Amino acid sequence: MINVKICVYGLVQGVGFRYCTKIVADQLEIAGIVRNQNDGSVYIEAQGTITQVKKFIAKIKDSPTPSGRVERITVKELPVKEYHGFKVTY
């Protein structure tokens, strides 16, 4: 089990990015959170098996919403936490 912090930059706010990210997370059985940041980026914490998290990151890089455009992402490993599903937070 791994937990990562993902910061996503590009056209990722106001295009349904967070809600589409939740759909992808639910499909891959990823736990964690997603929220908008004041700088226009999206912050994600994603926890699952290494395989699940790698698949999740690949889908995020391609933008889970057709209206969005991901220019770059950063990924950093975090300590494992106790999540209950995947939530859109504010």
pLDDT (tens digit, 9 = 90+) per residue, 1-11? 999 999 999 99
Mean pLDDT of 48-63: 97
Query: How many domains is the chain partitioned into structurally?
Result: 1
- Would you state the pLDDT for residue 60? 98
User: Does the annotation mark 69 as catalytic?
Assistant: no
Catalytic residue among 3, 18, 38, 69, which?
18
The CATH number that applies at residue 25 is 3.30.70.100
Q: How many angstroms separate the Cα of 17 from the Cα of each of 1, 21, 39, 66?
A: 25, 6, 15, 9
pTM to 2 decimal places: 0.96
Percent of the chain past pLDDT 90, that is, above it, reads 99
User: Does the annotation mark 18 as catalytic?
Assistant: yes
Quote the domain boundaries for residue 39.
2-80
Residue 20 in this model has a pLDDT that exceeds 90 = yes
Helix axes 50-61, 17-28, angle to 10 degrees: 150
Catalytic residue among 3, 36, 38, 72, which?
36
Residue 28 within any structural domain of the chain: yes
